[in-house]
Structure 1
Amino acid sequence: MPDYFHGYAVVGLVAVVGVLFVAVAFTAARLLRPVVPTPEKLLTYECGVDPVGEGWAHTQVRYYVYAFLYVIFAVDAVFLFPWATVFAAPGFGGVTLVEMFIFLGFLAVGLLYAWKKGVLTWT
C-alpha cells in the first residue's frame, strides 16, 4: 500500500513546492519593487497614445470569430501530431484511426455550421 500512495505524495510535494515558489516570488517582488506613484503612472496606457475621448468603442465581432476559428484549428493541430506518432505504434492503428476521424468529424460539423451561418464571409 505505501507504493500506491508514493506517486500521489510526489505529485502533492511538487504542487506544494510550486505554490511556495510562486508565493515567494510574488512576495519578493512586492518587497523589492519601488513604490513611487505619479500622476503619469496612474493614467490609462493605450499603446503609447494618450487616452482621448470616451472609453466606449465599437468593435467588429467577426474578428473574434476568426480568432476563435484559428484557436479551434490550432487545437486540432496539437491533437494531430501526437496522434500521428501513436498511429504508427503496433496495436493502435485501427482504434486511433477511428478516434481521429470522429474528432475530425466534430470539427468538420462545426466548420460546416459556421459556413452555413455565413460567419466565414468577409464583408
Structure 2
Amino acid sequence: MSTQLVLASVIFVLIGFILSAVFVLTKFVGPKNEEAQLKNSVYESGVSNPVGNTNIRFSVKFYLVAISFLLFDVEVVFMFPWAVNVVELGMLGLVKMFIFVGLLFAGLIYIYKKKALSWD
C-alpha cells in the first residue's frame, strides 16, 4: 500500500473518532432541560410566548415574488463570466448575451402582465 493511502485512512478514522468524542462530550457537558413543557414550547425571535395563531396561510404572491427573484438573480451568475470573457467571445458571444437578456426581459414582461408584482 502507498503511504498516501495509509495517511488518508488514518486521517479519516481520526476524524471519525474526534467527531464521536465531541458528540458524546456534548451529551455530558451541554445544558439539560428536563421540563417537557419548556422543551416543546415555541421560541421565536427572542419571544417565548408569541401572540396569535401560527397556522395562517400565506398569499401565493410571496411565492411568486420569491421564485421571480431567484430566476432574475441567477442571471448574474451567467452574466459575470460573460463580462469577464467578453473580448474573447467576440461578436457571437455578444449576440448570445443579447438573446439571453431578451428572454429574461420577455419573462419580466410576462410576470408584469400576469400582475404577479402588484400588491392589491
Q: Same fold (TM over 0.5)?
A: yes
- Which structure: larger Rg? 2
The two structures, once aligned, show a CA RMSD in angstroms of: 3.1
Give the drift of 1:83: 0.7
> Given the alignment of the two structures, is residue 32 of structure 1 paired with residue 25 of structure 2, yes or no?
yes
Query: What corresponds to 1:63 in structure 2?
Result: 62
Structure 2 residues without counterparts, runs of 5 or longer: 1-7
Q: How many matched pairs?
A: 103
The percentage of counterpart residues that share the same residue type is 36
Give the drift of 1:51: 4.0
Give the drift of 1:103: 2.0
Between 1 and 2, higher relative CO (CA 8 Å, sep ≥ 6) is seen in 2
Report the TM-score when normalising by structure 1.
0.63
AA aligned opposite 1:94: M
Structure 1 residues without counterparts, runs of 5 or longer: 1-15
Return structure 1 stretches of 4+ with deviation > 6 angstroms. Answer: none
Task: Please state whether the residue corresponding to 1:68 is helix, strand or coil.
Answer: helix
Report the TM-score when normalising by structure 2.
0.64
Deviations 1:31-79 (A, max 9, x none): 2322623332332222222245544112222233222222222211222
